[in-house]
Amino acid sequence: MRALLILLLLASCSVAPTNYSNIGQLYSADGAYGTAFPVAYAADGFYVLTCQHVVRGLDVGFTFHVDGMSYYDGMVVWVDEEADTALVGFTSPARPDLYVLTAEEPQKYSRGIAAGYPLGVKFLVAGPVMFQGGGVINHVSGPGGSGGPVFNEQGRVCGIISRYRAPNTRFTDVMMFGWIVRMAPLGSVIEKIDEMLGR
């Protein structure tokens, strides 16, 4: 069912093929949740990227559910409140496939794909988007979708779902759906990953 839903949504999109199986759900100890995905390996585990407002100031106690596996006791290792991005580390021998990040913003009106778990659904929802410039895309999202990757036409992650709004409202992360979505920029997190890995 999950694979069928993704195929139906992406059938008309001309974005480079991407493996979506390692995009997962991130839960905090107090019940908050969002979307996350692996972006770097550590010596004893891996790091996932999500939104800063998903971790909400908590440092420990995160669980990452992905592709039938669960990873526990995740710890926040870095946040950028202004960009609304955060890295959460998990200790594990697992080496999930990583997603390639880019700080380059796509051209206006180019197409891409966004993916996530809005409202905590148990299946990944992925669909086409159009880049509007200024870090804004047309895409339906809601709570739980925050932290989901936005792929450009080359299949690289160029932003993550951060805030959303309906027309004539402001950007927010409250319990509502929006179809005008603001992406969190990735420049600072790319620099941090390079620093952690000594690149």
Tokens for 195?
Answer: 């620093």
Domain ranges of the chain: 2-18+100-189, 24-98
pLDDT in tens, 118-169: 887 788 888 899 999 888 888 777 788 999 999 999 999 999 998 766 555 5
| Inter-residue contact 117 to 54 (CB < 8 Å) | no
Eight-class DSSP state of 17: P
pLDDT in tens, 90-115: 999 999 999 999 999 999 999 999 99
pLDDT in tens, 51-85: 999 998 889 999 999 989 999 999 999 999 999 99
**2-18+100-189 against 24-98: fold identical:** yes
CATH 2.40.10.10, applies to 24-98: yes
Tell me the pTM: 0.86
| Inter-residue contact 150 to 164 (CB < 8 Å) | no
Give CA–CA dist 164/100, Å, rounded: 24
DSSP string computed for 131-162:
EEETTEEEEEE-TT-TT-EEE-TTS-EEEEEE
CATH 3.40.50.300, applies to 2-18+100-189: no
